Chain A
């Protein structure tokens, strides 16, 4: 494109300048002043090309999923709502709920102990977290499962004093109890750190203001500090819960009929390995999606006053 033959002097008025641009070359056409022109946005050819590549890859993946008969989609459909699978899903949900329930209950107690001014309380809480974070969950589960090898009987009574009754360890700690204990105690170590981080994230001035107003200790914690701590607790707690939904699959080593164990049982019988792995995948995907949506609403609730 040719540049205009004559460059307009700086002090010339726009009108005169337009005249100049309309001169002999005629490239500028009958241009109006800039403020009246139509805006044409920049094109992003690179972005378009990248999108096209991703689109093709997606189509290839979809086609690979649909056209290859080895995925056995009809078998997936057949087993997705089979009673044995539904029971396993329910058991997985129960394990998750119990694990997270014990985890956050004990975790909150540990977090409060850790922040206590009593050195024994705070160091016991510290020690618990250090210990249970160090032991792999699978190893801990096997410990609980085999507790009877360590102590044959467990008795209840006055510490170091008389015992009121005792019970065989095998009867008290069934495989299910061992699984729940293992998951809960393991989870408590992580939950305690999450709750502690949340409590520390609240401005100390909040606790001080509540104390200056004479608000009772428990109310300070549950009405003033914890609701504010929830803002930083919920996102990480969401991670933990979703992690645990999938984490429950490790209890398959104790032959408990949760989702992962159950589908292994089924495919070892009928040989449809891929289809049944897909059944489990679909269920894990579904549960975590529901939890993610729930998390969104819980977060919105605790965002009150923080717009």
Chain B
């Protein structure tokens, strides 16, 4: 049994007749940063969403820290878990959305406090202090009482990262965290993500920021057409790709 924090095996997923994932294997070691690159429509966001069961897989297995996600194995069958069980598993898997999805009727602080209190039933005072520390860590302690609409895109995404961190997850999934941002705001969000990477958080990041991948990733995965085309350390995949499709993609984005 591997010690991988995230372990995907032969994952298949179709939307109607469109096969989006055609047998994906992916292992992410504890404390490592994996960056997934690939053209749009290559299935990378769908893959990320299978890791916390926002998308059900059609076949294949998804494990986080050794535990099957969304299913329970009994004999030779997999039984889908009840909603409540899946929600419990998700509290250990952070997710940061491209469009932030902060709760607009709650302040920055309330956004961060909500899930640890309602999903993990931790005491409110303790969570509040943790939330203040996390907002400080992403550089927004002064904005704790601001509503999302009063924040810039970059600030909203940093609150969203603090919100994911508050659950103290084993792994954090980033789904194109800077794609909805104005160019001048990308840097402040990537700085926060880099800081997390250096502190040893296990992360999977779907992004188009090649520079970020080169600087932060332990492993770069290149996906195309629902399959992993190649993977390896950034120096290998980005500088001397073995596969023609990887080369074609990189020549377009670099």
Query: Are A305 and B118 within 8 A (Cβ)?
Result: no
CB < 8 Å: which of B89, B105, B118 contacts A304?
B105
Least CB distance, A115 to chain B, in whole angstroms: 15
Query: Are B87 and A205 within 8 A (Cβ)?
Result: no
With a cutoff of 8 Å between Cβ atoms, the chain B residues found around residue A215 in the complex are 87, 114-115, 118-119
A217 within 8 A of B: yes
Query: Are A217 and B107 within 8 A (Cβ)?
Result: no
Bound Cα distance from A224 to B119, whole angstroms: 13
CB < 8 Å: which of B89, B95, B119, B150 contacts A216?
B119
Query: Are B105 and A217 within 8 A (Cβ)?
Result: no
Q: Please, which residue of chain A has its CB at the minimum distance from the CB of B115?
A: A213
Least CB distance, B105 to chain A, in whole angstroms: 5
B167 within 8 A of A: yes
Query: Are A214 and B91 within 8 A (Cβ)?
Result: yes
With a cutoff of 8 Å between Cβ atoms, the chain A residues found around residue B88 in the complex are 214
Bound Cα distance from A216 to B83, whole angstroms: 9
B149 within 8 A of A: yes
What is the 8 Å Cβ interface bit string for chain A, positions 166-189, against chain B (1 contact, 0 not)? 000000000000000000000000
A212 within 8 A of B: yes
With a cutoff of 8 Å between Cβ atoms, the chain B residues found around residue A216 in the complex are 84, 87, 118-119
Least CB distance, B227 to chain A, in whole angstroms: 26
Bound Cα distance from A228 to B149, whole angstroms: 14
With a cutoff of 8 Å between Cβ atoms, the chain B residues found around residue A209 in the complex are 95, 97, 101-103
A239 within 8 A of B: no
What is the 8 Å Cβ interface bit string for chain A, positions 88-121, against chain B (1 contact, 0 not)? 0000000000000000000000000000000000
B44 within 8 A of A: no
Query: Are B97 and A205 within 8 A (Cβ)?
Result: yes
Query: Are B149 and A307 within 8 A (Cβ)?
Result: yes
Bound Cα distance from A227 to B110, whole angstroms: 14
B81 within 8 A of A: no
Bound Cα distance from A306 to B148, whole angstroms: 9
Q: Please, which residue of chain A has its CB at the minimum distance from the CB of B148?
A: A305
Bound Cα distance from A214 to B121, whole angstroms: 11
Query: What is the interface residue range for chain A against chain B?
Result: 20 to 34
B90 within 8 A of A: yes
Among B90, B120, B148, residue most surrounded by chain A Cβ atoms (within 10 Å): B90
Bound Cα distance from A75 to B147, whole angstroms: 55
Q: Please, which residue of chain A has its CB at the minimum distance from the CB of B173?
A: A212
With a cutoff of 8 Å between Cβ atoms, the chain B residues found around residue A211 in the complex are 54, 87, 90
What is the 8 Å Cβ interface bit string for chain A, positions 204-226, against chain B (1 contact, 0 not)? 01101111111111010001100
Bound Cα distance from A215 to B95, whole angstroms: 13
Query: Are A305 and B119 within 8 A (Cβ)?
Result: no
With a cutoff of 8 Å between Cβ atoms, the chain B residues found around residue A217 in the complex are 83-84, 87
Bound Cα distance from A215 to B84, whole angstroms: 9
Of residues 108 through 158 on chain B, the ones whose CB sits less than 8 Å from some CB of chain A are 114-115, 118-120, 147-150
Given A305-B106, A305-B107: A213 and B91 interface contact (C-beta under 8 Å): yes
With a cutoff of 8 Å between Cβ atoms, the chain A residues found around residue B42 in the complex are none
Least CB distance, A210 to chain B, in whole angstroms: 8
Q: Please, which residue of chain B has its CB at the minimum distance from the CB of A225?
A: B103
Bound Cα distance from A212 to B115, whole angstroms: 10
A-B contact pairs, 23 of them (CB 8 A): A203-B101, A208-B97, A209-B95, A209-B97, A209-B101, A209-B102, A211-B54, A213-B91, A213-B119, A213-B163, A214-B89, A214-B91, A215-B119, A216-B118, A217-B83, A217-B87, A223-B114, A223-B118, A227-B105, A228-B103, A228-B105, A304-B147, A305-B147
B residues neighboring A (CB under 8 Å): 52, 54, 83-84, 87-91, 95, 97, 99, 101-107, 114-115, 118-120, 147-150, 163-164, 167
Q: A208-B97, A214-B120, A224-B103 provided; 15 other pairs, C-beta below 8 A?
A: A208-B54, A209-B97, A209-B102, A212-B97, A213-B95, A214-B88, A214-B90, A215-B87, A216-B87, A219-B118, A305-B105, A305-B147, A305-B149, A306-B149, A307-B147
A-B interface, 8 closest residue pairs, ranked by CB to CB distance from nearest: A305-B147, A209-B101, A214-B91, A213-B115, A214-B119, A214-B90, A212-B95, A205-B101
A residues neighboring B (CB under 8 Å): 203, 205-206, 208-217, 219, 223-224, 227-228, 302, 304-307
